[in-house]
C-alpha cells in the first residue's frame, strides 16, 4: 500500500439508492446541525459529497490527535481531502406512503457528522432516514454555526477536560440530545448518549450503542433506562467496568443485548477503517484484523434485526436475528472477557 491513501467506502447493500444533504436549523450554537442520509430516487451523474466537508475539519482532527495543526492539517487535506462518499448529494427524496423510520446518530468524541457515512448510508439503503448529528457542545473535533447577523461562520473547537476537573462530571454535561423520534444510535461517547436519550426522550423506542464508552453514565440512571439497548462492542476497546454497566442494563431488560465483533478495534466502527495506506492508519489506529466490509455487515445486520424487533417493522431483517444472540462468524455473545472477569 505504501504511503498513498484512498477511501473505499462501500455503497449500501439495501434496495434503495441513498441521498445525502446537510441541514442547519437556527443561527445560534443551540440550533441543530446534521447530515441526513435517506432513500432517494436514482439520478445519473449525481454529485458525491466530500467525506471531509471543509479544510477546517482537518485542523480539528489534528488537534484531537494531539498533532501539530501546522503540518498535520495540510497532510490530512492532501491525503484524504478529495475522498468522496458514494451517495447522491442532495438527491431527490424517494416518496414512501407509510413513512420511513428515523434513526438519530450521535458521533463519538473528536468526530463529526460525516465520519460514520458507511453505517449511516448502509442503514438508509434499507429504508431508514438517518440524521447524523454534529454536536456543538465542544465534543466534535470542530464544528460551526452561522450567526444571522455576521454573514460568516463561527467555529467551535473540541474541548478537552480542563485541568483539575474530573472527566466524569465534565463529560456528563455534554451531548444533551432532545429529539423525540423513533430510534437513537451512536458510537463511543455517542453510544452512551444514545442510552441516556432513552431516559430523557420517551419517544425513542430503542437504542443501538456502538462500542459505548459507558463511563459518563451515572449509576443512579440505570434503573431509569426504560427501553432495550443493543450493545455492539469491538474486541479491543471495552473494560470490565464498562461491560459491568452494560450487564447491569441487560439484567433489568431481557431485550437488551450485548455482542462483540472479533478482530475489531474502536475505530473499526468509523469510516477510518476503510482508509487504505499506512499513514492515516498509524495516526488514528483504525485497523483491526477483521475485514472492514465484513465488520460493517455484522454491525448493520445486527442493528437492522434489532430495529425491526423494537420498531415493529414489516421487513425481513429478522433473518439476522442470530446475530443478536452472538451467533455467527466473527461475533460472540457479550464481551471477550466478561464471562471470566465479571
List pLDDT tens digits, range 123-156: 999 999 999 987 666 555 565 456 666 567 665 5
The secondary structure of the chain in percent helix, strand, coil, rounded to multiples of 5, reads 35, 20, 45
Rounded to an integer, the average pLDDT of 192-221 is 85
Considering Cα of 324, then 327, then 329, then 331, what sign does the dihedral take? Answer: positive
Is residue 312 annotated as a catalytic residue, yes or no? Answer: no
Catalytic residue among 141, 211, 242, 310: 211
Residue 40 lies in domain: 14-341
Residues 177, 125: Cα–Cα separation, whole Å: 25
Establish if 9 belongs to a structural domain.
no
Q: Does the pLDDT at position 172 exceed 50?
A: no
CA 258, CA 195: separation in Å to the nearest integer? 13
Residue 8 falls inside a structural domain = no
CA-based angle 186:189:190, to the nearest 5?
A: 20
One of 188, 205, 242, 264 is an active-site residue; which one?
188
Separation in Å, CA 337 to CA 24, 211, 235, 286, 329: 42, 15, 9, 22, 18
Question: Is residue 24 predicted with pLDDT exceeding 60?
Answer: yes
Q: How far apart are the first and last CA of the chain?
A: 41
Of residues 163 and 291, more confidently modeled: 291
Task: Assess if residue 6 is contained within a domain.
Answer: no
Number of domains in the chain: 1
CA distance 269 to 118: 9
**Residue 1 is assigned to a structural domain of this protein:** no
Instruction: Take residue 251 and report the three cell numbers written for it.
Output: 439484567
Helix (H, G, I), strand (E, B) or coil at 88: strand
The one catalytic residue in 16, 135, 266, 310 is 266
Is 188 an active-site residue? yes
Is 125 a residue of the active site?
Answer: no
pLDDT, one tens digit per residue, over 294-320 is: 999 999 999 999 999 999 888 999 999
Domain assignment of residue 326, yes or no: yes
Q: Is residue 7 part of a domain?
A: no
**What's 74's domain CATH number?**
3.40.50.1820
Check residues 170 and 109 and name the one with the higher pLDDT: 109
pLDDT (0 to 100) of residue 99: 81
pLDDT-derived band at 232, boundaries 50, 70, 90: very high
Amino acid at each position: 500500500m505504501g504511503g498513498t491513501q484512498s477511501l473505499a467506502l462501500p455503497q449500501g447493500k439495501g434496495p434503495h439508492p441513498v441521498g445525502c444533504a446537510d441541514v442547519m436549523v437556527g443561527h445560534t450554537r443551540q440550533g441543530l446541525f446534521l447530515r441526513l442520509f435517506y432513500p432517494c430516487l436514482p439520478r445519473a451523474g449525481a454529485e458525491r459529497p466530500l467525506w471531509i466537508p471543509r479544510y477546517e475539519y482537518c485542523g480539528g482532527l489534528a488537534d484531537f490527535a494531539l498533532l501539530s495543526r501546522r503540518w498535520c492539517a495540510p497532510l490530512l487535506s492532501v491525503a484524504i481531502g478529495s475522498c468522496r462518499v458514494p451517495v447522491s448529494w442532495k438527491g431527490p427524496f424517494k416518496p414512501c406512503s407509510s413513512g420511513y423510520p428515523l434513526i438519530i446518530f450521535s458521533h463519538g468524541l473528536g468526530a463529526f457528522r460525516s465520519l460514520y457515512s458507511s453505517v449511516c448510508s448502509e442503514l438508509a439503503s434499507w429504508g431508514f432516514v438517518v440524521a447524523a448529528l454534529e454536536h456543538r457542545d465542544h465534543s466534535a473535533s470542530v464544528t460551526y454555526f452561522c450567526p444571522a447577523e455576521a454573514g460568516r461562520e463561527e467555529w467551535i473547537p473540541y474541548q478537552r477536560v480542563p485541568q483539575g476537573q474530573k472527566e466524569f462530571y465534565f463529560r456528563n454535561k455534554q451531548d444533551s440530545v432532545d429529539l423525540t423520534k423513533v430510534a437513537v444510535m451512536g458510537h463511543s461517547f455517542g453510544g452512551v448518549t444514545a442510552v441516556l436519550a432513552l431516559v430523557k426522550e420517551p419517544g425513542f423506542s430503542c437504542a443501538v450503542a456502538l462500542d459505548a464508552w459507558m463511563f459518563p453514565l451515572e449509576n443512579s440512571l440505570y434503573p431509569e433506562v426504560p427501553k432495550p439497548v443493543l450493545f455492539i462492542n469491538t474486541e479491543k476497546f471495552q473494560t470490565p467496568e464498562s461491560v459491568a454497566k452494560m450487564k447491569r442494563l441487560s439484567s433489568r431488560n431481557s431485550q437488551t443485548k450485548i455482542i462483540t465483533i472479533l478482530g475489531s478495534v474502536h475505530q473499526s466502527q468509523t469510516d477510518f477503517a476503510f482508509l487504505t495506506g499506512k499513514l492515516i492508519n498509524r495516526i488514528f489506529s483504525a485497523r483491526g484484523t477483521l475485514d472492514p466490509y465484513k465488520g460493517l455487515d455484522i454491525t448493520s445486520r445486527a442493528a437492522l434485526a434489532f430495529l425491526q424487533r423494537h420498531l415493529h417493522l414489516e421487513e425481513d431483517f429478522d433473518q439476522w436475528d442470530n446475530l443478536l444472540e452472538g451467533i455467527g462468524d466473527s461475533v460472540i455473545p457479550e464481551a471477550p472477557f466478561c464471562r471470566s472477569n465479571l
